[in-house]
Amino acid sequence: MDIQKINTEYEKASAVAFLQWALKNFGASKITVASSFGAEDVVLIDILMKLDPSVRIFTLDTGRLNEETYQVMDRIRSKYKINIESYFPDRQKVEALEKQKGFFSFRDSIDNRKECCAIRKVEPLQRALKGFEAWVTGLRRDQAVTRSGVSKIEVDAANGGIFKLNPLADWSNDDVWAYIRKNEVPYNKLHDAGYPSIGCEPCTRAVKAGEDIRAGRWWWENPEHKECGLHLPKK
Ligand code: SF4
């Protein structure tokens, strides 16, 4: 597949047109959506459920999520009448981590934080993607310095060379919220409390006016480190 050509062709196309192409090219059974049920993810779910409700949606239940995240998952589940597939971390690895390093080791160093993300997110993601040819994400270029080079379609070398589809790569935050409001898409109530980006409860906080939208994620780290290993920048 010539991804450069596809990126050129679909750079200015709508997210709907790009996802229609993806469904036709890969087939609905070979695409999955990775959802943490943040604003971008609920937009993608709404678009995809209208295009083809058989597309599978999974989430990484790290064991450290906010109650509001479970609430929006339930509202999405009811509205679209879909099953959400939860992937949990390996029990023995979590037990060993907490036994050896306690419950907040991710605050002690970047290595410890990456270790926790590797156990709670990266390994379950690898399991979730098995058997699929492409996964859909809500990455946008203006979310973070680590995401400025995101393309609509990429080869995900970290996940067996399957394709990563980022239909919202060129969307702004305003585009996302205009879509949510227009289409009455259920969203995580933490967004109303000043959380632009929502991950695990102990690693996410609200941001103040004027702060970067990723400022509330791992706020004790520098911006260039703020990825959990699910979306590493292209080399
Ligand atoms: S975001 Fe925090 S709690 Fe969640 S997996 Fe990463 S380090 Fe662990």
Looking at ligand 1, which residue's alpha carbon is closest to its atom 4?
A: 200
Is 121 among the domain residues? Answer: yes
Is 62 among the domain residues? Answer: yes
Is 230 among the domain residues? Answer: no
Residues labelled catalytic:
228
pLDDT number for residue 216 = 75
| Residues in the chain with pLDDT values less than 70 | 222-235
Is 12 among the domain residues? Answer: yes
Is 231 among the domain residues? Answer: no
Beta-carbon count within 10 A of 5 CB: 9
Ligand 1 atom with minimal separation from the 199 CA: 1
CATH number reported for the structural domain that contains residue 114 in this entry: 3.40.50.620
Coil, helix or strand at residue 128: helix
pLDDT number for residue 224 = 65
pLDDT number for residue 223 = 65
pLDDT number for residue 235 = 46
Is residue 62 lining ligand 1, measured as CB closer than 6 Å? yes
pLDDT tens-digit map of 193-233: 999 889 999 999 888 877 777 777 777 776 666 666 666 65
User: Order of strands across the sheet with 56-60?
Assistant: 84-87, 56-60, 31-34, 134-136, 162-165, 153-156
pLDDT number for residue 196 = 87
- Ligand 1: residue of 97, 108, 228 to mutate (most ligand atoms within 8 A of CB) is 228
User: How remote is the C-alpha of 23 from its chain's centroid?
Assistant: 19
Nearest to 187 by CA among 33, 36, 16: 36
User: How remote is the C-alpha of 175 from its chain's centroid?
Assistant: 17
- Looking at the 3D structure of the chain, how many domains does it have? 1
pLDDT number for residue 130 = 95
